[in-house]
Each structure stands twice: as structure tokens, then as C-alpha cells.
Amino acid sequence: KMVNCGLLTVKNEPVPLKSIEVELQVQGHVATVSSTLQYTNEEQSPLEALFVFPLPAESALCHFSAKIGDQETVAKVQEKEKAKDEYDDAIASGQQAFLLEESDESEDVFKLSVGSLPPGQSAAVTFIYVTELSVQADHSLRFCLPAVLNPRYSPPGTKLPQITERQIIPYSLSFTATVSSPNPIAKVESKCALEPLVFNTDRTNAKVSLSAGHKFDRDVELYLYYENAHQPTAIVEAGVPTAKPGTLMGDPVVMLSLYPEFPEAIMSSMSTCGEFVFVMDRSGSMGCAMHNGPGAKMRIESARDTLVLLLKSLPMGCYFNIYSFGSHYKSLFPKSVEYTEETMDQAVKRVKEMQSDMGGTEILEPLRNIYSQQCIPNHPRQVFIFTDGEVGNTKDVLQLVRNNADHHRCFSFGIGEGASTALIKGMAQEGRGHNQFITGSDRMQPKVMQSLRYALQPAVIDITEVWSVPAGMSTTHLSPPLNVLFHGQRALIYAQLKGEVRGTITVKYQLAGQEVTNTLNYSLKPAENSGLSIHRLAARSLIRSLERQEQTEGAEKEALKARVVELSVEAGVSCSHTAFIAVHKGSGEAVEGPMLKRRVMPMAMACAAPPMGKLMQIFTSFVNVGVMMNIFFLKKKKYIYIGIRLKLLYPHVPVDMLPPDVVEDHLLELISLQKASGCWEMGNALVKVFGKPEDEVVKQTPAQVSGGVWATILALIWLHGFKMDDQVEWQFVAMKAVTWIQNQKVANLSECVQAGNSLLGCQVKEEALGL
């Protein structure tokens, strides 16, 4: 069922948000985002509305204003309870008021209360936030403007509103972006249609906007590519001239960008030990589609395929376990077991049976059980968590991960648009791991295999910073300690500078037993009139660190809270203890009439399957116009996919509408047939992947070669010959296969490779196979 939402009329018709205008300004690795939302109260009564929207977890909300008619009121940051009292007093006296606050349960969800709008009145609200841009696998920086806020599952006892339907709001979107960088901008890409880019002469500035007619039916994502991506940078930003020297906003702040480059020799080295714990979300929302386009798999289907791929890719000698969770949880084994042919087969069988049938999203209890298990000596624990991120107790989850960070690394995966950035990024950050978001038509497998590579590779550790400054100058660290960086990760480090702004920063770290040193000189005139984005992100970093301490400290809790509120008010950025409050006095006359309360949600799509009755109406109409149908029913746990082959009056123009998963994925089929040791066995299922009759494949077996060796060599040739574009997905199974073949001491290996190429119609060289 589709449910209307927004500012609703008494007839349940949406007349909420009229338009959104977004301006994005990017400076290197950070961005400032300004959004203006235009409302009109078309009801016959005064209106109070609640607008709930997501922001990136690493962002800092730093401005909020409201314009009613021609008069604009700029909000101020206050301690949260004081702000709420002022809002309530304003509403009670008939004034227009706006209250913007962070959700108590998750730092990436904000609530905007729009109070007492008279009938026919319009209001425009503007909020500005600054955010760090995340680095992608191809070295690009990603900006995302979310179109979807998923309904969050709240465990019993939490106060986050339960929202059981996804809802649609019709409004227009205007989006423009201006990008500047010390290094030249190579290109800007997006999954949405863009107007042509406009560059300056040296390509250090670019401007781009969305093409006209964008419907905001998906996240707006920009990918920024800079030249010399691994070059460390230090950017100094001047403080506020009117602020008191010695305060955070009064002094210059430096932002250090560290993005280590990993040599190829380190990239190719892999560990064979570890305890791998896979935690799979099987809540009802995992039954939604991965995206809104045609051919979309269910989230649980894609997660199942990915987990099979992970299981096949693990190294012999490691340990593993699988947890499923929803309203409750269960584990495949009582504790992690050694990775063998028997345990792998058992796990693959169970994974293929997984459905999204476990209710809500209780992630705390399975994590508590995992952390209660004794660690296995010489096998570092690596936890892989797959979820669509719909929980209401994010802060409790992050606290648990943080408390156990010394005993594990956490790799988190947000599945589908709307996954909580606070939860997904927070678990990885607190667990010294890495996060990935799988949105739109992204395939999950490449991103997950990239994280497995991180888990098996050396990481940057023992990171230290040495600040060399002249006499009379000092630095104050504003960022939490940096423990580990994986390949492809970048860190932004903030520090407050007191005194003369010059000196050097030397960053040292260990990588695969080798010490690496980077030294940066900064003798720069601080940038002025920059919007203070670096100051505000530095304040946000320090506030988050203090908030984490606050959750663990006892006697110091009130003092920490007071310091957090002080920093939040000084820097003008939001936090868990403050809110933005704006009161518009207007004419001073009370607004007459009872107040209506309405909830406004950002655009989101319903994920329920269409009712069978509606499909049968469609079928009947086809029959009535003389259409002949062959109906293919593919029964799945809760869904019935119906494929229709229509033969119209013109038989030479057939129309095929087969379900997407009828088309076989030969790559995943091949991988699922591999043994834990790395070999394949000859059989009908394998030769079906090759597209050859089994008797022909067996007949071509070279002399004195076993069926297993022949099958494994053919599988390797097939992967290199037909699936090179997907190498990131099968690289680990191929490495296992090569090791297995080498252990067989095959005498006529070159002959086997030549025969395999001839059979499969490929030209893969022996050295390309790694043999």
C-alpha cells in the first residue's frame, strides 16, 4: 500500500514541500551544503509540522534560518532543553517558531519542528552543514544528497517514531555545485544526469549542476577526481577576527589530509590466518529491492550471493562463523570453527536458505554474544556486518563496538539507499575497520571483496604526528587518536594553532614492518572568509570525542556535557545537547484556531510487492485483447515473480518479460562449485558454466592429468578469458586455485593450458594465470 505523507490536508492530500534548492561548495576534501526548503500551508487551520531528514554522520550543522513572507529570522544555538522551552512558549503565544535538533537515538537524523504557520502562509527554511567527503576505491571523493530516509526499527523502550511505510512527496529540486582544490580537478561524475562542467584555466575550479527535470527519486551522488590524490596536504584556515584569541574559533585551525599509498608488493601479500565472523541482517526490510529500477534483486538475495562468495574466498587454516539477526539472533555454530571442506559446505547450504523473515532489527544482542566469545590465539577477529541500517539505538551499538575495539576489527556494509551513515560509518570507525555503502544498481560483491582484501592485507599502524613549531607557538590536537588506516582510506586530522602560523608536521607510521615518514611544511597565510568549514569540522570532531568520553565517564559527566555545550554554542554547530531555535515575532497577534500536527518525510519508495489481484486484472485484460501468454511462476518465500512472454498478433515481434533472476549468473555459479581447498571437480554443473557438453570436456583431458586438475585449469582459463572485468570478485578463489595446482606438481602444465584455451576458445597465457 502506498501512503501519502508530508503536510497533509484534511482530505489526506499532500501539499507539503514545494521546492528544495541546494548549493554545494567543495574545498578539497570538505564540503559546505546549503539547502532551502519552501513550504506553504494550504490548509484552513494553523499548522505545526515535523520534518525528519538525514545528514551525513561526519557532518556539522552550522546554520539555520527561517523566512516568513519578507522577514528572515536566523536561529541561534542553545542548550537543547532551553531551546525546547523557548519553542513551546512561542507556540503557546501564537508566534511562528522553528526548532531544529539532532535525534536522541542517532547523530545522522535531524528533526525540524515548523510551528504555527497561519492558513495560506509560506515559509522558507534554510540550513547549512559542512561535511568531510569520503574516499572511494578509485580514489574519488563522494558527496551524497540523500533522497531516502529509511524507517528506523526501534527496539522496545526507545522513543524514535515507528514509521512502517515508505512514502512519496512530490517536490522540485534545484542543485548546483562549485568545486575548488589545490590539485587540479580531473573530472566530476554522477549517476544522475548533469549539465556540462565548466572549468577555469588551470582546472582548480569547476561548476556543475543537475540537468533540468531531475525527480529526486534517488540519491544525488557526485564523484570528484583530483590529480595527485595521494599527496598529503595541510590547509590552514584563519579564525574569526572578532572572537577571543586562544579560543577554538579565534585561533587558526589546520587540517592535515593523510592518504597513504600502498606499494604493489604489499598489495599482493595476503594473510592466511584470522577469525571471520559474518553478521547478516535478516529483518523484514531486507526483503526490499536493492534499487527502484528494472531487474533489481532483493537485498537479502544480493547479500546471500555475497556471503557465498566470501565463504569460498576464505584462506585454508582460518576460523569462521555466521550470525543471523532480526528481532532475535542465531549463529551457525556455537563458536567459530576451522575452515574446512565440511564446515564450508555446511555454511553454504545454510546461507542459500536465508530469507528476510526474522522481524525487526536488533543488532546489539548478536554483537554482545560475539564479543563474549574468547578470541582464538594468532587469529585476529574480523567482524563483517551486513545491514540496511534501520535501527533506533545507534549510539548504544557504537558504544558496544568501541568498548571491544581492542579485540576485533569491524567491516560494515550499508545496503540500499537510506542506510544510516552514523551506524555504518560509526561501527567501522569505532571498530578500526572499513565501511562500504551499496546503493542504486551497485553490485555488492566487488565492494565486499575489497573489504576482505583489507582484512587480509597489512594496514598502516603506529601512526604518530610530530609538530615542529617555533618558539611562542603551540598546537592543540582536536581529532581522536588515529589507530589504523587500510589501503584506500584517508584521514583528516585537525589541530588548533596558537601563535605564528608556520612550522612542519612530520607524520610517521608502520606499513608491513617498514617505517614511512611524510614531512609537510606550512608557512601559509591562513585563508580568510572561507566559511569556517575547517573550524566547524574541527569543532565537530572534538565534540564527538567529548561525547564518547561522556558516555563512559562517571563523575566527570556533567563537566564534559558543559564543555560540549560551550563548544557547540561557540562554533555554532549542532550536537546531542543543543538545538537551533528561531522565533518569528510577526505582528504579535496570536494565530487563531486549533493546531494541526503533520509529519514530513523525505521522498522514499514503497517496497511491497504488487497485490496478486492487480496482476490478475492485467492478465485478464491481455486475454481480452487476444494476447496469448505463457506464465512462468518462480515461487520464493514471500514473493511470486511472474514472467510473461507475449505473442501479439505479430508473432515476429515477441515481447520477453522474464524475471531478472531467471538469467543465470555463471560467475557466482562457478565460484559456488569450488572446494574449500581451491580446486574444482569435473561434473555437469561445471561444464554447463563452460557451455560445453560434459563428454566433450572429459574427452579433451590431457594425458596423465586428473579430472580435478583439468577442471581447475579450465575454471582459471574461463575466469581470465571471460570475466576479467569482475576480477576483484574472483581474485581470492583464483589465488586458492593456483596454490592448489602448484601443490599437485603437474608435469605437463603448459600442455594443459594450451588444451584448455583450445577447448574454451581463449588465448590466456600461462603466466597470466599465475602458474
| Secondary structure in 3-state letters for 281-324 | ECCHHHHCECCCCCCCCEHHHHHHHHHHHHHHHCCCCCEEEEEE
- What pLDDT does residue 164 have? 35
Cα–Cα dist 659/636, whole Å = 12
Give the max Cα distance, the chain. 98
- What pLDDT does residue 650 have? 31
C-alpha cell at 472: 611562542
- What pLDDT does residue 326 have? 92
627 to 244, 619, 621, 632, 654: CA distances (angstroms) = 79, 9, 9, 16, 11
- What pLDDT does residue 85 have? 93
- For CA atoms 759, 765, 766, 768, the dihedral sign is negative
What CATH code would you report for 273-456? 3.40.50.410
Torsion of CA 43, 49, 53, 59, to 10 degrees: 130
Q: Is the pLDDT of residue 546 over 80?
A: yes
pLDDT band at residue 577, thresholds of 50, 70 and 90? very high
Cα–Cα dist 344/43, whole Å = 61
162 or 564, which is more confident?
564
Contacts of residue 771, Cβ cutoff 8 Å, sequence gap at least 6: 716, 738, 741, 742, 749, 753
C-alpha cell at 139: 580514489
pLDDT tens, residue by residue, 434-468: 888 887 777 888 888 888 888 887 777 778 877 77
202 to 181, 182, 234, 305, 690: CA distances (angstroms) = 11, 10, 21, 46, 51
- What pLDDT does residue 80 have? 93
Q: Is the pLDDT of residue 527 over 70?
A: no
Q: Is the pLDDT of residue 24 over 50?
A: yes
pLDDT band at residue 708, thresholds of 50, 70 and 90? very high
Sketch the domain layout of the chain as residue ranges.
3-223+572-588, 273-456, 612-662, 666-769
670 or 547, which is more confident?
670
Contacts of residue 64, Cβ cutoff 8 Å, sequence gap at least 6: 74, 75, 98, 100, 125, 126, 127, 128, 580, 582
Q: State the CATH class of domain 3-223+572-588.
A: mainly beta
Q: Is the pLDDT of residue 551 over 70?
A: no
- What pLDDT does residue 558 have? 86
Q: Is the pLDDT of residue 673 over 90?
A: yes
Q: Is the pLDDT of residue 757 over 80?
A: yes
pLDDT tens, residue by residue, 35-67: 888 877 777 777 766 666 777 777 889 998 888
Least confident of 369-373, 644-648, 670-674: 644-648
Q: Is the pLDDT of residue 400 over 50?
A: yes
147 or 278, which is more confident?
278
User: Do 677 and 340 touch, CB atoms closer than 8 A?
Assistant: no
Mean residue pLDDT of the chain comes to 78
User: Do 373 and 279 touch, CB atoms closer than 8 A?
Assistant: no
Residue type, 283: S
Average pLDDT estimate for 199-209: 89
- What pLDDT does residue 737 have? 93
- What pLDDT does residue 681 have? 94
Cα–Cα dist 219/53, whole Å = 13
Least confident of 323-327, 470-474, 531-535, 701-705: 470-474
Cα–Cα dist 139/490, whole Å = 10
Q: Is the pLDDT of residue 612 over 50?
A: no
Of the candidates 43, 769, 466, the residue with the CA atom closest to the CA atom of residue 760:
769
Q: Would the pTM count as exceeding 0.75? A: no
Q: How many CB atoms lie within 10 A of CB 169?
A: 17
- What pLDDT does residue 223 have? 93
| Residue 490: CA count within 13 A, CB half-sphere | 25
Average pLDDT estimate for 235-258: 88
Of the candidates 578, 561, 560, the residue with the CA atom closest to the CA atom of residue 569:
578
The residues pairing with 322 across neighbouring beta strands, listed in sequence order, are 278
Highest mean predicted confidence (pLDDT) among 155-164, 376-385, 485-494: 376-385
Proportion of the chain above pLDDT 90, given as a percent: 33
Least confident of 126-140, 714-728, 749-763: 126-140
Q: Is the pLDDT of residue 153 over 80?
A: no
- What pLDDT does residue 756 have? 94
pLDDT band at residue 606, thresholds of 50, 70 and 90? very low
- What pLDDT does residue 614 have? 36
Average pLDDT estimate for 739-766: 92
pLDDT tens, residue by residue, 493-513: 999 988 766 677 777 887 777
The residues pairing with 65 across neighbouring beta strands, listed in sequence order, are 74, 126
